[in-house]
Structure 1
């Protein structure tokens, strides 16, 4: 992974922590990982999933749980309301929701 991608991944984790200062609730994982997949590689999403699993305290989730969500394509079942709610959390943390313009 190049340095700029590594920096983006680090910033992504920081945005998540800012948007979800008390941790990500289980009901937001599906929409959150779906949104992250728009900007991150599969490996980067898996790295973030592992980090999120390590941080989950109120409703523990394991890396295996998150891997199962990814593998089973549960990510495709997020409701529009879930996406709006999670997008608001990410925006609060500074996540760049708009796709960069193509040149």
Structure 2
């Protein structure tokens, strides 16, 4: 299944921002930031595409765990800031 153009642009942008893949410590803050602009279904679609492309080295169970953690646990501010800085450096519109 192909992603809608907007979600494809998000995935391509994330690949550019994380050319060596998303580090495990960045999963929760990254998805927390994405969830501010995307619906839960869109976040899940992006996550599945990143897994399929090898950018996010997890599987469907890991994605479910991350999404569950997002709803039950706030990421640490220093983690959010690290991910926010990386996203801003590649042009993602991150607001407070």
Say whether the fold is shared (TM-score over 0.5).
yes
- Number of the residue aligned with 2:8: 10
- Distance verdict in 2 for CA 1:52–1:75, change over 3 Å: farther
| Number of equivalent positions | 93
Q: Cα RMSD over matched residues?
A: 2.3
2:18 maps to which of 11, 20, 34:
20
* Structure 1 alignment gaps of length 5 or more: 1-5
- Number of the residue aligned with 2:51: 53
Q: How many angstroms does 1:77 deviate by?
A: 2.9
Runs of 4+ in 1 over 4 A off after TM superposition: none
* Structure 2 alignment gaps of length 5 or more: none
Q: How many angstroms does 1:74 deviate by?
A: 6.0
Cα deviations by residue, 1:38-70 (Å, 9 ceiling, x for unpaired): 00011110011112223147xx42121111221
Q: Under a length normalisation based on structure 2, what TM-score does the superposition of the two structures give?
A: 0.81
* Structure with max Cα Rg: 1
65-74 vs 83-92, which moves further: 65-74
